[in-house]
């Protein structure tokens, strides 16, 4: 019989609890909703509904470890709003996951889907775990345990998860498989970000970076910036950063600064973005690539002179103190939440054209939606078709935000909230929710 090793006793009231600080992301979301609701003169009932998730599921997951013991994990699935369609949003595996992080990310998915005008709401999931300490078999059992717990609350017309931090196409494949076992039929569209062999879409890998490139290109047209020779600085050279860099280089931008977890560098002569992408794929980090140039202190990296700045790594990078020194013509937020709210007015005043995260990085969820459509039809598009539809969605969303910013004379992030929140509020109103 397997030896039972119980974890240190768990305080259930403390599992995944967030701090009440001003930087608590869920409090930030609520403040952003309040600001937009006031400008839109939103009905108080609709406003209150938008401030909270409609549903939250907290799950406890027993997982048999390779040594025969059982470990108990905790997880969540938050469904923020489904007025415009089934919830959509990733599943994160992270040791410091909190319910408030997941709530905030679920709300941001609601706005993101509304902004690119796809018929979906917002959701997000998370499991408190450190995947680096789990074997592949243990990861598989954890993924399947999660689906056994939430499997009756998700589905093509309810809530559609996807990969996020520390989860990937393989984990999605195990989840789809477990869902099929539970229900007795295949429903590939229940989860997106799957391997191509299991109903994944072509064009998903570069979709977020491609969306960054499209929105930068449109912004450059609006402000009269010629991208040929424009200096670009990219923080984070993973999926989003590296694809954004190579696609923008193809439009003529010159990569003059790049950073990842291994350090930060600047090279005014330009760094070959494609060659660096190959190097990063092989070595997992950019350190050691010939031609990176001079090292830069990471805390000053975002202040490098450039026309296009792409933060594509972490949240809370641009704040009140460093915002006055960050002066690109275009700030393209590939990452989620790189700018704290207090920095927005400073960037606006300094004439920085900000492409807010839930516009700039919406290419990923847009192609995830295309994946759902293809699964539903059981008919698969070629890459050209995926690119054409993505182009149309991103350009239309960009124009809606630009126009709203002009109309209300506000910064682009608030404009994006105004577009998204008014669409979600209208769906709730016609459904008779308030
Ligand atoms: P990734 O794991 O592929 O890459 C992350 C990159 O950030 C790596 O190059 C890593 O070295 C770098 N990094 C980590 N710590 C750093 C530090 N302290 N300083 C500088 N660089 C650091 O992740 P990704 O998928 O590219 O996601 C990046 C961001 O984009 C995240 O905020 C994510 O939520 C957001 N995002 C991703 C997608 C997507 O489709 N992948 C979609 C929307 C938003």
CA of 399: how far to CAs of 71, 112, 157, in Å? 50, 15, 29
317 pLDDT exceeds 90? yes
The protein residue whose alpha carbon is closest to atom 16 in ligand 1 is: 261
* Partners of residue 311 on adjacent β-strands: 235
Q: Which H or E run contains 356?
A: none
- Alpha-carbon distance 425 to 14, whole Å? 33
Sorted by where each begins, the domain ranges of the chain are 50-198, 202-434
Confidence band (pLDDT; 50, 70, 90) for 2?
Answer: very low
CA of 334 to the centre of ligand 1 (A): 8
| 50-198 and 202-434 have identical folds | yes
Question: What was the pLDDT predicted at 16?
Answer: 60
- Alpha-carbon distance 333 to 341, whole Å? 13
- Alpha-carbon distance 172 to 424, whole Å? 28
CA of 109 to the centre of ligand 1 (A): 17
7 pLDDT exceeds 50? no
42 pLDDT exceeds 60? yes
The protein residue whose alpha carbon is closest to atom 18 in ligand 1 is: 261
Question: What was the pLDDT predicted at 43?
Answer: 96
Among the ranges given (8-22, 200-214, 378-392), the one the predictor scored with the smallest mean pLDDT: 8-22
Higher pLDDT, 20 or 191: 191
CA of 83 to the centre of ligand 1 (A): 30
Local structure of residue 65 (DSSP, 8 states): -
> What spatial distance separates the first Cα and last Cα of the chain, rounded to whole Å?
57
Question: What was the pLDDT predicted at 8?
Answer: 42
CA of 241 to the centre of ligand 1 (A): 7
Question: What was the pLDDT predicted at 10?
Answer: 45
Question: What was the pLDDT predicted at 4?
Answer: 41
The residues, ordered by sequence, that sit 6+ positions from 402 with a Cβ below 8 Å of its Cβ are: 218, 222, 412, 415
337-380 pLDDT, tens digit per residue, is 899 889 999 999 999 999 999 999 999 999 999 999 999 999 99
The protein residue whose alpha carbon is closest to atom 4 in ligand 1 is: 238
Q: Which of 59, 93, 62, 52 is nearest to 77 (CA)?
A: 59
The protein residue whose alpha carbon is closest to atom 1 in ligand 1 is: 238
The protein residue whose alpha carbon is closest to atom 33 in ligand 1 is: 335
The residues, ordered by sequence, that sit 6+ positions from 349 with a Cβ below 8 Å of its Cβ are: none
CB neighbours of residue 257 within 10 Å: 26
Mutating to test ligand 1, I would choose from 240, 257, 359 the residue with most ligand atoms within 8 A of its C-beta, which is 240
Question: What was the pLDDT predicted at 17?
Answer: 62
Residues of the chain with pLDDT > 90, as a percent, come to 91
137 pLDDT exceeds 60? yes
147-173 pLDDT, tens digit per residue, is 999 999 999 999 999 999 899 999 999
For domain 202-434, give the CATH superfamily. NAD(P)-binding Rossmann-like Domain (3.40.50.720)
From the alpha carbon of 313, which atom of ligand 1 is closest? 7
18 class by beta-carbon count within 10 Å (0-12 exposed, 13-18 middle, 19+ buried): middle
Question: What was the pLDDT predicted at 20?
Answer: 64
Mutating to test ligand 1, I would choose from 161, 260, 281 the residue with most ligand atoms within 8 A of its C-beta, which is 260
The residues, ordered by sequence, that sit 6+ positions from 91 with a Cβ below 8 Å of its Cβ are: 77, 124, 125, 126, 127, 146, 161, 162, 163, 164, 167, 171, 175
DSSP secondary structure string for all residues of 418-430: HHHHHHHHHHHHH
Question: What was the pLDDT predicted at 6?
Answer: 40
CA of 242 to the centre of ligand 1 (A): 10
Angle at Cα 309 formed by Cα 307 and Cα 311, nearest 5°?
A: 180
Confidence band (pLDDT; 50, 70, 90) for 246?
Answer: very high
Question: What was the pLDDT predicted at 315?
Answer: 85
Higher pLDDT, 168 or 2: 168
Angle at Cα 323 formed by Cα 32 and Cα 108, nearest 5°?
A: 25
Question: What was the pLDDT predicted at 293?
Answer: 97
- Alpha-carbon distance 290 to 95, whole Å? 35
Question: What was the pLDDT predicted at 21?
Answer: 72
The residues, ordered by sequence, that sit 6+ positions from 431 with a Cβ below 8 Å of its Cβ are: 83
CA of 419 to the centre of ligand 1 (A): 26
Q: Which H or E run contains 369?
A: helix 363-377
Question: What was the pLDDT predicted at 243?
Answer: 98
- Alpha-carbon distance 174 to 126, whole Å? 16
Local structure of residue 132 (DSSP, 8 states): G
- Alpha-carbon distance 207 to 244, whole Å? 9
Class of domain 50-198: alpha beta
Question: What was the pLDDT predicted at 12?
Answer: 47
Question: 60 φ, ψ to 5°?
Answer: -120, 125
Q: Check: CB of residue 109 under 8 Å from CB of residue 123.
A: yes
Active site residues: 124
From the alpha carbon of 338, which atom of ligand 1 is closest? 32
Give residue ranges with CB within 6 A of ligand 1: 208, 235-241, 259-261, 298, 312-314, 334-336, 361, 364
The protein residue whose alpha carbon is closest to atom 35 in ligand 1 is: 335
The protein residue whose alpha carbon is closest to atom 43 in ligand 1 is: 361
292 pLDDT exceeds 70? yes
Q: Which of 115, 101, 161 is nearest to 400 (CA)?
A: 115
CA of 270: how far to CAs of 46, 73, 257, 306, 331, in Å? 50, 46, 8, 12, 19
Question: What was the pLDDT predicted at 420?
Answer: 98
- The pTM of this model reads 0.94
- Alpha-carbon distance 352 to 338, whole Å? 15
From the alpha carbon of 260, which atom of ligand 1 is closest? 21
Task: Calculate the average pLDDT of the chain.
Answer: 94
CA of 239 to the centre of ligand 1 (A): 7
Give mean pLDDT, residues 20-40. 88
Confidence band (pLDDT; 50, 70, 90) for 15?
Answer: low
From the alpha carbon of 361, which atom of ligand 1 is closest? 43
- Which residue do the tokens 């009140």 mark? 320
**β-pairing verdict for 70-81 and 121-128:** antiparallel
- Alpha-carbon distance 178 to 340, whole Å? 39
Q: Which of 232, 253, 366 is nearest to 312 (CA)?
A: 232
Give mean pLDDT, residues 261-280. 98
CA of 239: how far to CAs of 78, 206, 242, in Å? 25, 7, 6
């Amino acid at each position: 019989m397997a030896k039972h090793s119980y974890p240190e006793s768990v305080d259930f009231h403390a599992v995944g609890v967030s701090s009440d600080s001003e930087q608590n992301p869920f409090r930030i979301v609520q403040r952003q909703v309040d600001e937009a609701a006031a400008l839109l003169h939103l009905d108080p009932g609709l406003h209150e509904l938008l401030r909270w998730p409609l549903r939250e599921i907290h799950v406890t997951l027993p997982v048999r470890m390779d040594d025969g013991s059982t470990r108990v994990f905790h997880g969540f699935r938050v469904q923020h709003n489904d007025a415009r369609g089934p919830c959509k949003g990733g599943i994160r595996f992270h040791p410091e996951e909190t319910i408030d992080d997941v709530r905030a990310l679920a709300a941001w998915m609601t706005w993101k889907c509304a902004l690119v005008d796809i018929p979906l709401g917002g959701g997000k999931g998370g499991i408190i775990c450190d995947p680096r300490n789990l074997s592949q078999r243990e990861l598989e059992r954890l993924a399947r345990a999660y689906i056994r717990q939430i499997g009756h609350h998700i589905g093509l017309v309810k809530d559609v998860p996807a990969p996020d931090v520390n989860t990937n196409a393989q984990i999605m494949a195990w989840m789809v498989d477990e869902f099929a076992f539970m229900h007795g039929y295949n429903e590939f569209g229940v989860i997106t970000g799957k391997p191509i062999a299991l109903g994944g879409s072509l064009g998903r890998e570069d979709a977020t970076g491609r969306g960054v490139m499209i929105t930068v290109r449109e912004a450059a047209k609006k402000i009269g910036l010629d991208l040929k020779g424009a200096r670009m600085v990219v923080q984070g050279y993973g999926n989003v950063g590296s694809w954004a860099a190579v696609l923008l280089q193809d439009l003529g931008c010159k990569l003059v600064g790049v950073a990842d977890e291994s350090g930060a560098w600047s090279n005014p002569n330009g760094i070959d973005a494609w060659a660096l992408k190959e190097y990063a794929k092989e070595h997992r980090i950019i350190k050691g690539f010939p031609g990176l140039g001079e090292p830069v202190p990471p805390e000053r990296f975002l202040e490098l002179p450039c026309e296009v700045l792409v933060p594509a790594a972490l949240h809370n990078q641009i704040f009140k103190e460093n915002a006055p020194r960050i002066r690109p013509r275009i700030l393209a937020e590939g990452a989620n939440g790189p700018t704290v709210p207090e920095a927005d007015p400073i960037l606006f005043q300094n004439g920085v054209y900000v492409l807010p995260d839930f516009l700039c990085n919406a290419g990923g969820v847009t192609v995830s939606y295309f994946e759902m459509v293809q699964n539903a039809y059981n008919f698969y598009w070629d890459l050209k078709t995926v690119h054409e539809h993505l182009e149309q969605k991103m350009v239309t969303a960009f124009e809606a935000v630009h126009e709203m910013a002009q109309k209300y004379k506000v910064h682009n992030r608030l404009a994006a909230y105004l577009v998204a929140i008014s669409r979600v509020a209208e769906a709730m109103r016609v459904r008779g929710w308030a």
